[in-house]
Structure 1
Amino acid sequence: MGKTVVYAGVKFEIRTPWPDRPAEGSLMCGAELRPVAHRKYEPGPPSPQSIELGRVVDRGIRESGCIDMNSLCIIPGEKVWGVMIDIHVLSDGGNIFDACGLAAIAALRTAVVPAERFDVGEDYTLAVNGTPIMASFTRVGGRYVYDPCEEEELGGDERIHITIGDEGHLHSLQKGLRGVFTPAEFAEIFKVAQTKCAELRKVVAEKEAN
C-alpha cells in the first residue's frame, strides 16, 4: 500500500489442545518491526508497537471466524494444528496496519497444511471462510483520513482500525492514541470502511485467482 511493503507467511505445528477446548486448534499472529523498515524502529525484542500491530491484526482475523478452529483438530484431546502468521514489515511508508492485515489474510487464503511432513495424511489447502479486511483512519486537523501516509500519521492525534467481513459486518474495532469520537463520526467512518474494504476484498480475490 503506497510506499509500505509487507510480507507474511504461515507456519504450522502439531500441538496438544487446551484441556477446555480438546477439539480446537490455535491461531497466533506476530509482527516484526525492524530498522530495515524505518529508522524509528530499533533492533531487539518485540517493541510495544510490534506487539500492538500483531494483536490488532490477530483480533480482526480471529473475530471474523474465517478460521474454524474445530477444522484444525487431528485427534480430539491429543493433536491439533497450531497456525502461526508471521508478518514482516520491509518498508514503513504509513498505514502498516492495513498492509499487514492484507498480507495476513492473503497468506492464510493460500496456505497449504503440511500434513505429509508430519505423517498425518495428505497435504491440503487451509479452509478459510471469508476475507476479513481492515480499514484504518487517523484524525488529522479535525477530520478522519483513510489509509494515512507517514506524514498524516505523524500529525494525527487519534487512530481507529476497523475489520469488516464479506457481508459488510463489523468484526473488530480498535482505537489508538488520544481523543474520542462521537457515534455520528463512527457511523461516517464505518460507511467509508465498508466501501474501501469491499474494494480491497476484490483485489485480494483477483490476486488469489492469479
Structure 2
Amino acid sequence: MGDTIVYAGVKFQIMTPYPDRPNQGGLMCSAEIRPVAGRNWEPGPPSPESIELGRVVDRGIRESGCIDVDNLCIIPGEKAWQVILDLFAISDDGNLFDAFALAGIAALKTAMLPEVRFEMSDTDRPLPVSKTPTMCSYHKVGGRFVYDADGKEELGGDERIHITLGDDGHVHSLQKGLKGIFTADEFAEIMEHAQGRCEELRQMILRAEG
C-alpha cells in the first residue's frame, strides 16, 4: 500500500434494536478523507469516493458475520450495543480500500465494549469478533491487472474490483468500480491470486494480535 496511511477507531453507543432484529446490535462504518491526505481531496461534506469506501468496507465486514451481533443485545427489543467504525486517511498513495479494510478489522478485533463506563459490569469485555475477513483490490491498467495499485496506477485504471474473503476463502463481498468489464477468464485469474493474498493479509493481522 506504499505510502498510504490510514487509521481506524471504534466507538460504541446504545441503540434501540430494529423491529425485525430485536435481539441484535448494529454496525455502522464511515470513511473520511480530508485534504491532509493529498492535494486531490477537498474539505466539505463526504465525497462520493469516501461514501463508496465506507460502504464497501462495511459490506465486507457485515456479510462475513465476523461480529456476533446477537451477543451485542442488552435488553431484547429495548437496548443493544451499536458498533461504530470510523476510518480516516492521513496519506493517500493509492489503494485506500484495502488499507481501510485492514485497519478496520484490526481495530474491531482489539476493541473493548465499555461496560464499566455504562455501569453494566465491573469489567469491560472484548467485542465478540470471531473471524478475520480481508479485502484485495485489483485495477486493470493498460490491459494488465495491478494488485495494490498506487496513486498513479489508479489514475490510469480502466476497471477495478474489490474482493472480501473469509477465513475459509469464502467470498463475502464483491464490488466492481469504473466503467470497464471483466471476462470470465480474467475474473478467475483475479480470484486465484486473491485467495493467496488475502490469506497473507489475514496472517499479518493475526500476528499483530499476538
Considering the TM-score relative to the shorter chain, is it more than 0.5?
A: yes
- Structure 2: 5+ residue runs without aligned partners? none
Aligned to 2:33: 33
CA RMSD of aligned residues (A): 0.7
Give, as a single letter, the amino acid of the residue that structure 1 aligns with 2:104: A
Aligned to 1:171: 172
Q: Which runs of 4+ in 1 moved over 4 A?
A: none
SS of alignment partner, residue 21 of structure 1: coil
Write out per-residue CA displacement over residues 15-45 of structure 1, whole angstroms, 9 at most, x where no aligned residue. Answer: 1111111111000100001000011111011
Aligned to 2:12: 12
Aligned to 1:3: 3
Q: What is the rounded CA distance, in whole Å, between the counterparts of 2:76 and 2:24 in structure 1?
A: 8
Aligned to 1:106: 106
Write out per-residue CA displacement over residues 159-205 of structure 1, whole angstroms, 9 at most, x where no aligned residue. Answer: 10000011111110000001111111111101100100000111111
Give the TM-score taking structure 1 as reference length. 0.98
Write out per-residue CA displacement over residues 92-137 of structure 1, whole angstroms, 9 at most, x where no aligned residue. Answer: 0010100000000000000000011111223101111110000000
Aligned to 2:58: 58
Q: Name the % identity.
A: 65
Alignment of 1:41-56 (within 5 A): 41-56=41-56
Q: What is the rounded CA distance, in whole Å, between the counterparts of 1:74 and 1:45 in structure 2?
A: 34
Aligned to 1:136: 137
The Cα shift of 1:10 comes to 0.3
Give the TM-score taking structure 2 as reference length. 0.98
Aligned residues: 209
Q: What is the rounded CA distance, in whole Å, between the counterparts of 2:100 and 2:19 in structure 1?
A: 32
Aligned to 1:146: 147
